[in-house]
Chains A and B, each alone.
Chain A
Amino acid sequence: EAQVTQNPRYLITVTGKKLTVTCSQNMNHEYMSWYRQDPGLGLRQIYYSMNVEVTDKGDVPEGYKVSRKEKRNFPLILESPSPNQTSLYFCASRQTGQGNGYTFGSGTRLTVV
């Protein structure tokens, strides 16, 4: 089944403790992206990647890092999480070509205390 898989689904952590949210897709998509979803603010892009070893900042990159060493994986790294990073995170991937929308993962609900 074609899908985007995120792990973990839920995570509670403490301020300052480094964490990684993994994202993997099995559709050989070039584009991958991370979004955070907050009430009243909709979806805001954190980072995106156009292909292996090519990443760029989205609208809200502060406090996050990403890497794209392989086409299928696009992990999101929080080196020193803070409470304002408590949010619902979505990973998504997309095939190049006109009309192709993103396929989204199930989301990761992160709470930083």
Chain B
Amino acid sequence: AQRVTQPEKLLSVFKGAPVELKCNYSYSGSPELFWYVQYSRQRLQLLLRHISRESIKGFTADLNKGETSFHLKKPFAQEEDSAMYYCALSGNYGGSQGNLIFGKGTKLSVKP
């Protein structure tokens, strides 16, 4: 079964400190992994996708198939990074496997 685990409900850091939001997944095939961000009272926005290996707003995430992880990292946190972050997984395309399954989210709080 597909599953996404975000072990931390809340992560609190000081401005300028490094940030790592953990995400582990369970999937028997080749997954696609995404990170979404939700700022206060706003809609979810796509932040990163593993397939594009991009860096958005200073965040990066690398898919580690051996550890089944897709942790989100940023070297220097900013106050505007405070938000809810969701990791999501999708299986190979075709039928229901194109669906997205979300983790429960981690609330990041960056203190001044």
Interface residues of A (CB under 8 A from B): 31, 33, 35, 40-45, 48, 50, 56, 58, 90, 92, 94, 96-99, 101-107
Q: Are B51 and A99 in contact (CB under 8 A)?
A: yes
CB B44 to nearest CB in A, in angstroms, measures: 4
Q: Are B96 and A45 in contact (CB under 8 A)?
A: no
Q: Are B86 and A42 in contact (CB under 8 A)?
A: yes
Q: A90-B43, A98-B32, A104-B44 are in contact. Are A40 and B104 (CB under 8 A)?
A: yes
Determine which of A56, A90, A105 lies in contact with B96 in the assembled complex, contact meaning CB atoms within 8 Å: A56
- Which residue of B is nearest A42, CB measured? B104
Chain A to chain B contacts (Cβ below 8 Å), 30 pairs: A31-B98, A31-B99, A33-B99, A40-B104, A42-B6, A42-B102, A42-B104, A43-B102, A43-B105, A45-B99, A45-B100, A45-B101, A45-B102, A48-B96, A50-B98, A58-B99, A90-B43, A92-B100, A94-B98, A96-B93, A98-B51, A101-B100, A102-B44, A102-B46, A102-B100, A103-B46, A104-B43, A104-B45, A106-B42, A106-B43
B49 part of interface (Cβ distance < 8 Å):
yes
In the bound complex, residues from chain A placing their C-beta under 8 Å from that of B101 are 45
CB A5 to nearest CB in B, in angstroms, measures: 11
What 0/1 pattern do residues 17 to 60 of B give for CB contact below 8 A with A? 00000000000000010101000001111100101100000000
In the bound complex, residues from chain A placing their C-beta under 8 Å from that of B36 are 101
- Which residue of B is nearest A100, CB measured? B49
Interface residues of B (CB under 8 A from A): 6, 9, 32, 34, 36, 42-46, 49, 51-52, 86, 88, 93, 95-96, 98-105
CA distance A41 to B52 in the complex (A): 29
CA distance A42 to B88 in the complex (A): 11
